[in-house]
Amino acid sequence: MWMALGALIVVVGLGGLFGYQQFQDDDDGSPRGGPVELPSTQGDFSLTQLEDDQLAVLFFGYTYCPDVCPMSMAVMRQVMQGLDDEQRRRVVPVLISVDPERDTIERLTEYVGYFGDDFIGATGSQEQLEELAARYGVVWRRVETPESAMEYTVDHSSSLYLVDREGTIRQRVLYSPAPHALRSALEQELGG
């Protein structure tokens, strides 16, 4: 019963965050995006490392997330598997952890490894993540759960961002447990 109540609280909280997220963007209603430079599972990661024809798919989450994060990562994996070799070369999936306290580079390496060799895990200091989240319109907050072995969870918004090497957000894909929205966005951007 406590688990069901906890799950209900998480769902309601995420719903509230989603609504809140819609009002946290720039004046024109869009997040600004911009540079991403963080320590990662593949050394220092920067969007500027992308080639001109590549896109990063950025997702802000954390490895201890019980539902939205593994589902979004699985959707990214499914979409990546459906791309041909050339398209797959042009897409770089990146999980940016908003839980730097627990998500070390070692932990991120293990986690993203479950989804594929192409996946990158990145994180930074609390200050770096707050600045980055503000530019991308990402809302997140720590929620203490003293009755749980995890001690806390992190409520966070769950959009995916298709971003070029300049940090320009080409498309923002709302959370979905199905791959159709991400697949469609990537096909538009990749010209497929």
What single string gives the DSSP state of each residue in 60-109? EE-TT-SSHHHHHHHHHHHHHHTS-HHHHHTEEEEEEES-TTT--HHHHH
Q: What does the H/E/C string look like for 93-106?
A: EEEEECCCCCCCHH
Mean pLDDT of the chain: 88
Own/partner long-range contacts of 181-189 (Cβ < 8 Å, ≥24 apart): 182/57, 182/75, 182/76, 182/79, 183/79, 183/82, 186/55, 186/57, 186/79, 186/83, 186/87, 186/91, 186/162, 189/55, 189/162
Average pLDDT for 130-139: 95
Region of 151 please: left (phi>0), alpha (psi -120 to 50) or beta. Answer: left
Place of tokens 């999980």: 95
Q: What's the pLDDT score for residue 46?
A: 98
**pLDDT tens for each residue of 72-101:** 999 999 999 999 999 999 999 999 999 999
Place of tokens 């990749």: 190
**Residues at the annotated binding site?**
65, 69, 156
Which of 119, 140, 144 is CA-nearest to residue 131?
A: 140
Number of helices (H) and strands (E) in the chain: give both, helices first.
6, 9
Q: What's the pLDDT score for residue 192?
A: 58
**Residues at the annotated binding site for Cu cation?**
65, 69, 156
**pLDDT tens for each residue of 148-178:** 888 999 999 999 999 999 999 999 999 999 9
| Contact between 136 and 24 (Cβ < 8 Å) | no
| CA dist., res. 50 & res. 129, Å (int) | 21
Q: Which residues share a beta bridge with 59?
A: 95, 160
| CA dist., res. 72 & res. 60, Å (int) | 10
Q: What's the pLDDT score for residue 136?
A: 96
44 has pLDDT over 80: yes
Provide the percentage of residues in the chain whose pLDDT is more than 90.
79
Q: What's the whole-model pTM score? A: 0.84
**pLDDT tens for each residue of 4-34:** 445 445 444 444 444 434 334 445 667 999 9
Q: What's the pLDDT score for residue 185?
A: 97
User: Which strand (E) or helix (H) includes residue 8?
Assistant: helix 2-21
Q: What's the pLDDT score for residue 30?
A: 75
